[in-house]
Structure 1
Amino acid sequence: MLFKDLVQSWLKYYEKCVKPSTVRVRKHESGHLINYFETIKAKNITKKMYQDALISLKDRLSDNTIEGVHTSGRMIFGYALEFDILKTNPTQYATVSRTQKTVEDIENTKEIPKYLEKEQLSLFLGAAKEKGLSGDYAMFLTLAYSGMRAGELCALKWNDIDFNEQNLSITKTYYNPTNNNLKYELLTPKTNTSIRKIELASIMLDELKKAQSSQNEIMVLYRKTYHDKGFVFVNNENYPVYPMYIKMIENSNETYIKAGQSCY
């Protein structure tokens, strides 16, 4: 069996056990190995050949990406051993050496803030409220006050919100690698602990109620064509917003905050 065929055999087995988003990652990672071993028989791949492939990847991939490639490699050859396709595992003893930073590297690295300070958040939410598109303020307010992941927010439905108990339930996440409105999927959360309830602050409750009322008015006007699947945050075509939309606005935060102007 050629290595590329072994990978395809493993993927067909693997995709039955995990979410599509995980399969997509593994396909990408195993693709790097296919570039090296595509036309080589799997049984002829030696431990040295496999280690040399990992070393060669350091010229163009990050340490974390190579770690992922190695993880997929171990899974592929582990599958081959489990089902008696191969008798040896070339990934055994293979290592991924991490790049050592010099003092100069550390000194020259510019720290990129991973969060907004209180004043910056207030400035950004103010822009969303005054300058943003319809629903932007409620969306970013919910993200800021709840700590939800973007995919969880995109999958949020009105029946996940309990206005009486003042909480919302996280039970799913949004998946749409092509950012095509019509081709989204709802998947289970990232981990079991991701299934949770979040208390809603009064400011969130008020804005979500306003958003629901506004959405109901639009539904009445366009009841025949409205894509009514119960999503809280929707785009102009009434399909759920996707994470890339949120990311685009997040990427403009720094420019906006520095300039003191709207990021929209």
Structure 2
Amino acid sequence: MHFVQINKTTWRCTGEGPRNHSTGKRRQITRRGKSKGEARKRVEKAIAELKKVYTFDAKITFDEFSQEWLKLYQLKGNKETTNEHRAYCISLLNRYLAKQKMTAISTIELQGVLNHLFENGTAFNTLRGTHNAAKMIFAYAKETGLIEINPVEATFVPKKKMTLEEVTTEETSKLYLETDELKEFFRYVDKHRNIIYRTLIYTIAFTGMRPGEAVALKYEDVDLEKKVIHINNICEKKHTRRL
């Protein structure tokens, strides 16, 4: 604490209070007293009262705490569908943890919840969303001083072991755009002022030719009547692509 004697009968004391919960900024508390000791006591009392406002009862349950967290989360301007998804994930966690004290929930217990949801056929995206929701809830509990360690940090989302065929399919699918992704991509392409670039990109997208093949095209390679493009690759072998 910092003390300043203003005059013979007045002291000013400044102490570090709890950080502002909304902004995270430091909060300094200043009080005056007729003596150094009186000013200090007034500052300590003010800090103690603020700490009560920014902390939770150690007996608070997961259900109670998660609802308090959700109220704050919904004030962040998220999409309504996002808020609904968070609420649904919390409802899944409440099946197992509703009446448990926040301070008593362990990493092992949380991993058990995720494992049980997985074993009961919960979709991977829902599992991942539930894991993220739990991580944010317990992170908030740590920030407010309710717990010292976030027990979710050491947990993971269970995932089904894929067959070789599934792995191959998944890796291959990453190489291609879905229809809606392609449409979004073209919306940006159409904004480009260079018509040559726009034409090249559309040609590559709808014929499947390599960028190098498209750049090497000549006017005589394109037969607009038959809607055919003849491709000369590096090896100088003739290829034909339908338009």
Common fold by TM > 0.5: no
Per the shorter chain, which TM-score range?
Answer: 0.3 to 0.5
TM-score (norm. length: structure 1): 0.41
- In the superposition, the TM-score normalised over structure 2's length comes to 0.44
Q: Which structure has greater strand proportion?
A: 2
Which of 1 and 2 has higher RCO (CA within 8 Å, sep 6+)? 1
Q: Which has the larger radius of gyration?
A: 2
